[in-house]
A and B are shown apart, each in its own frame.
Chain A
Amino acid sequence: MSESRIATTLVMLAIFAGMSALSLGFPSKASFVPLLVGVPGALLCLAQLVLDLRARAAATDGGVASKAADGDGGDDGALQPREAMMLLWLAVFAGLIVGLGFHVGGPLVVSLYVRFGENESWRIALVAGLATLAVMWLVFTRLLEIPLFDGLVLPVLMR
């Protein structure tokens, strides 16, 4: 039983508990349904937390890493290096696209991912980036005439 499994349940519990607590500050008509949903949700997560903790205790007692009590077949391992790397890449995607927009940030992050995330050659990375640029510019901007986001940072830099 991994800690991250319990952490996931705790995050769910925190979301329900937090939203239910916030609902208490609303007028009664606005808080009625959120509380009607939030409180049972929090209780369910609490029940799941108890199941997770019991399963962890059982696994520790048995000396073997058992599957969770609900047997969902999920990976019980802690955050793997490759997993952490992918989450980091997701942050890089968000950062570059939000910062530099789709025309610049999109092709750039695709090239960077192909080169460093997948260890492909610079040539393939460049082709992937150019293909992304072509899709963004030709298909969305020119053909579909959809105004794409220019990013938060790029317009400031261009001034």
Chain B
Amino acid sequence: MDLAQIIGPLIQIVSSPYLMGLIVLAIPIGMFFGAVPGLGGKLGVVLLIPFVFGMEPMAGAVFLVAMHAVVHTGGSIPSILFGVPGTGPDAATIVDGFPMAQRGEAGRALGASLGASGIGGVIGALFLAAMLPVLRPVILAFSPAEFFLLAIFGITFIAMLSGRSLIKGVAVGLLGLMVAFIGLDPHTGTQRFTFDQLFLWDGVSVIAAVLGLFAIPEMLVLGVKGGSIADTPKKVAKYDFRQVLQGIADVLRHPWLTTRTSLIGAAIGAIPGLGGDAASWICYGHAVQTCKDGNFGNGDVRGVIAPETANNSKEGGSLLPTLFFGVPGSSGMAILIGAFVMLGIQPGPQIALTGMEIVWALIWALALSNLLSVIIFVALAPTFSMLVHVRGALLIPFVLVLAFLGAYLSESAWQNMLLLVGIGVLGYFLKKYGWPRPPFVIGLVLGPIAEDSLHKALAIWGPTFFMRPLSLVFIALIVGSVVYYIWQRANGVTQVQSDV
């Protein structure tokens, strides 16, 4: 791999006050969305989509990734100080972080969380970088037959992991594919499902669909729930700066645990659909299993380090399937895919050929934002601790207006706002009745690639394209995944629920 291609984006970022400014701006925003319980990175991306409209692809992508990367750093604040998780994956931090705060070690727990998040995030970025030389030749070896089967595998895999019903998951994935077929057929020029609406000729806006499917249902749920997001005491645990430094030193005192849980977190993040909850809890479990002298559950600092490293390192891992296969590693990544498409970055295999500069820029943005978040966290932690009292319901109208704005700006078509509402209502009921939504995004993003690849594969090899060696591997993966799922259900194995 060309060294200039690797280092070039880093130099471009650090030498550009504009890009560095965007990263510095993104960090407190990301921490804000993490620190207010119930908001999270998904809504952060939704809210920022209108603001990145018109930006250069690299600038917009760096801004969004930097924001998304540090959400869990902020999320540890309410977890430790109040025992209220800022986001779902931060719940594991409570087990030991909150008892530490209760016995007067809030600063140490925050410092440990901060150090672990920073190091975990950087290791996650390095994990992503280390995987590129392995992944790129594999992707380049793919033919249209494999791209088609990859889309099917992606939908099946996500469907299994993101919900308890395979039927519902696959059906939603197929719905995403069907919606992707709306527009002019690229082969015949036939209008498909457009109902003579000009704005549908180029297909359904991914942004409008993603905003409708994720942002609208979340806001409706928040509105239905009503009241404040979390019932927390007004009194904040006191801590001083020396305690924070002690916590950071704790992370350095446990280098192997930090490294192991960072790598485990990054690897879990790379498995689409498994989600952040799995990463943090698995790493917490790993710490409990491997640290025999621990006092876990009663305020052991290693119980803070393990989940916090995983929370941030998984972001690097989850960018892997998101960028190279168009298969979101998490629901937050699903929305990021939509934002990337709006910025002119098409996630998918072709990024290995034409978009490596962007990929490296995002890796560096991940690493830089996690490093810089350490400084910003120390400065702003006391302020962020007050955010837990913000009434989330009051954010509903602003999020909704920005969702409408994002849908409109994606193609400057007012009809997209009606599409947003339609998909939003459908998304709400899908969420309510356990139909997983990420497979829809995969179908929508991979639909055109899948259709085009299928036509090409049939033209080149005919129906025998299924017999190609790599195709057989994918078919085996699809069948194996389904059989494993059925075996799990038959044996009553509990599924890991992702944050969808």
Contact = CB atoms under 8 A, between A and B. Distances in A.
A120 B226 CA distance: 13
Given A38-B178, A48-B167, A70-B434, A152 B401 contact: no
A30 B426 contact: no
Interface string B393-432: 1101110110011001100001001101100111011111
Interface in B437-491: 450-451, 454-455
B405 A72 contact: no
Interface in B19-54: 50-51, 53-54
A75 B190 contact: no
A132 B401 contact: yes
Given A44-B174, A86-B224, A90-B421, A34 B168 contact: no
Contact of B434 (A15, A34, A73, A113): A73
A113 B396 contact: yes
A41 B224 contact: no
A90 B188 contact: no
Given A16-B178, A41-B171, A80-B224, A94 B398 contact: no
A30 B397 contact: no
A149 B414 contact: yes
Nearest to A139: B51
B435 interface: yes
A118 B164 CA distance: 34
Contacts of B230: none
Nearest to B409: A146
Interface string B377-404: 0000000000000000110111011001
- Tell me whether chain A's interface is mostly helix, strand or loop, or mixed: helix
Interface string B265-294: 000000000000000000000000000000
A120 to B, nearest CB: 7
- Tell me whether chain B's interface is mostly helix, strand or loop, or mixed: helix
A41 B178 contact: yes
B223 A89 contact: yes
A148 B54 CA distance: 13
Contacts of A44: 167, 170-171, 174
A140 B405 CA distance: 10
B273 to A, nearest CB: 15
Interface string A87-110: 101110110011000100010011
Contacts of B181: 33-34, 37
Given A70-B165, A102-B405, A132-B401, A30 B414 contact: no
A19 B168 contact: no
B47 to A, nearest CB: 11
Contacts of A149: 408, 414
Contact of B216 (A48, A90, A98): A90
A70 to B, nearest CB: 4
Interface residues on B, range: 35 or more
Nearest to A81: B224
B391 to A, nearest CB: 8
Given A102-B405, A110-B397, A12 B178 contact: no
Given A41-B178, A110-B397, A98 B418 contact: yes
A154 interface: no
A34 to B, nearest CB: 5
Interface string A1-25: 0001101110110011001001100
Interface string A60-82: 00000000101111110000101
B192 A37 contact: no
Contact of A90 (B54, B424, B434, B455): B424
A26 interface: yes
A8 B433 contact: yes
Contact of B223 (A72, A106, A117): A117
B345 interface: no
A87 B177 CA distance: 27
Interface in A36-65: 36-38, 40-41, 44-45, 47-48, 51
B54 A144 contact: yes
A29 interface: yes
A126 interface: no
A74 B193 contact: no
Interface in B179-223: 181, 185, 187-188, 190, 192-193, 216, 220, 223
B496 interface: no
Contact of A71 (B164, B177, B190): B164
Contacts of A29: 185, 187-188, 455
Interface of A: 4-5, 7-9, 11-12, 15-16, 19, 22-23, 26-27, 29-30, 33-34, 36-38, 40-41, 44-45, 47-48, 51, 68, 70-75, 80, 82-83, 85-87, 89-91, 93-94, 97-98, 102, 106, 109-110, 113-114, 117-118, 120, 128, 131-132, 139-140, 144, 146, 148-149, 152
14 contacts: A11-B426, A12-B171, A30-B185, A41-B178, A44-B174, A74-B431, A87-B428, A94-B420, A97-B404, A102-B404, A106-B405, A109-B401, A118-B396, A144-B54
Which 10 A-B residue pairings sit nearest by Cβ, starting from the closest?
A72-B434, A41-B174, A70-B165, A30-B185, A30-B190, A110-B397, A44-B171, A113-B397, A86-B223, A74-B434
